Amino acid sequence: MIILTGASGGLGSKLIKSLLLIDDLILIYNNNKIEYKGAISYKLNIINQDEVAKFITLHKQNLKNITLVNMATFSQDGLLANYSTENWEKTFDINVNGPFFLIKQLLPLMIAQTWGRIINVSSYLADNGAIGASAYSSSKSALIGLTKSLSKEYGRFNINSNIMELGYFDGGLADTLDEGIKKNILKRIPTKKLGQIEEISSCISLLIDSAYINGTTLKINGGIN
């Protein structure tokens, strides 16, 4: 069973078709409802621990061989000196605390089944930063640290934890960029094109199938410099 958070987002919604070819699928959304034939849709505020616990209880019987793909994300640009505490906290709530709450609740099931795949989605900006992206980039860096620690703590239970570090893709946050900024980004990518959703789904399939990829950051970014 694959649990996909951020399923109604620009990239998450495009992943659904290919993920259904891999396994059964639960789509997690919050504000923007999404439904897809063959998948279970569930409205969940991932930063509400009580809601997360209820979700696990309701679906416990279906949660076998669990793969959690954390794609829910929040980004609000702004220079640090002017950045609101509210947006800073919201960024870390959705990008770090939400994945933490879900992982914490799912780990007992994964341990009991001696199988699990935790795939957290980070960003090129986690390693490189950008003007106006201090909150977003630092939250995605925190996610990398969390994932690497999980890989060491739970690898002995055949629970692998890995990061997909995404560059700029056709869809998602890249759609919010000014055309001038997008052109400059394309100049820095050797392939001179944005990533396609198939690159992400193929990496998810690899991480599910492999028993020996653990604690790794897969950089899916076209070689951007």
* Residues that are catalytic: 136
Other C-beta atoms closer than 10 Å to the C-beta of 169 total 21
- DSSP structural state of residue 28: E
> For residues 34 and 9, what is the distance between their CA atoms, to the nearest angstrom?
9
Nearest to 168 by CA among 202, 225, 124: 124
Task: Please report, as a single letter, which amino acid is at residue 183.
Answer: K
Is residue 217 within 8 Å of 165, Cβ to Cβ? Answer: yes
Is residue 169 within 8 Å of 157, Cβ to Cβ? Answer: no
Is residue 218 within 8 Å of 163, Cβ to Cβ? Answer: yes
Measured distance between the N- and C-terminal CA atoms of the chain, rounded to whole angstroms: 36
> For residues 180 and 95, what is the distance between their CA atoms, to the nearest angstrom?
27
Distinct helix (H) and strand (E) counts, the chain: 8, 7
Tokens representing residue 19 in the block: 């993920």
Q: Which residues contact 35 (CB under 8 A, 6 or more apart)?
A: 27, 41
